[in-house]
């Protein structure tokens, strides 16, 4: 579980930072994203939201990540870190929670839940 969760975190943020359009492959039609309190369900809606964010470049720095098993063979992932957008010298703090669910047939995982919040203050 720890290895799968850590591999997902590395893969997710690398994709987000280098090729945001490809991140859609990590979601399914029953996936849900809550981004700063706004909800999006399904691959298309999530992809549109993430690709429509108002910055050109982003760099995530992961500070901590925790993993727990969930009912049904999934993995709960909790991430805290910093992100820089468009070369800003002042990183913003963020937290993000994922629930990874097993893919049908048991060949890997997909992002079932994704909750993102900037940390102010």
Q: Which residue's entry shows tokens 């490809």?
A: 22
Most distant CA pair in the chain, distance:
45
- The closest of 119, 98, 102, 121 to 110, measured between CA atoms, is 102
Q: What digits encode the pLDDT tens for the residues 2-54?
A: 999 999 999 999 999 999 999 999 999 999 999 999 999 999 999 999 999 99
What residues does each domain of the chain span?
2-119
Q: What is the pLDDT of residue 111?
A: 98
Q: What is the pLDDT of residue 105?
A: 86
Give dist(CA 74, CA 102) in Å, integer.
Answer: 6
How sure is the predictor about 103, in pLDDT bands with cuts at 50, 70 and 90?
very high
pTM equals 0.95
In CATH terms, the fold of domain 2-119 is: Nuclear Transport Factor 2; Chain: A, (3.10.450)
Q: What is the pLDDT of residue 116?
A: 98
């Amino acid at each position: 579980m720890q290895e799968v969760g850590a591999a997902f975190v590395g893969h997710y943020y690398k994709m987000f930072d280098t090729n945001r359009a490809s991140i859609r492959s990590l979601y399914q039609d029953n996936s849900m994203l809550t981004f700063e309190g706004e909800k999006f369900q399904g691959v298309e809606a999530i992809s549109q939201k993430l690709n429509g964010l108002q910055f050109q470049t982003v760099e995530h720095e992961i500070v901590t990540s925790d993993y727990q098993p969930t009912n049904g063979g999934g993995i709960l992932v909790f991430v805290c870190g910093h992100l820089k957008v468009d070369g800003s010298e002042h990183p913003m703090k963020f937290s993000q929670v994922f629930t990874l669910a097993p893919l049908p047939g048991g060949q890997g995982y997909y992002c079932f839940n994704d909750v993102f919040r900037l940390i102010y203050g």
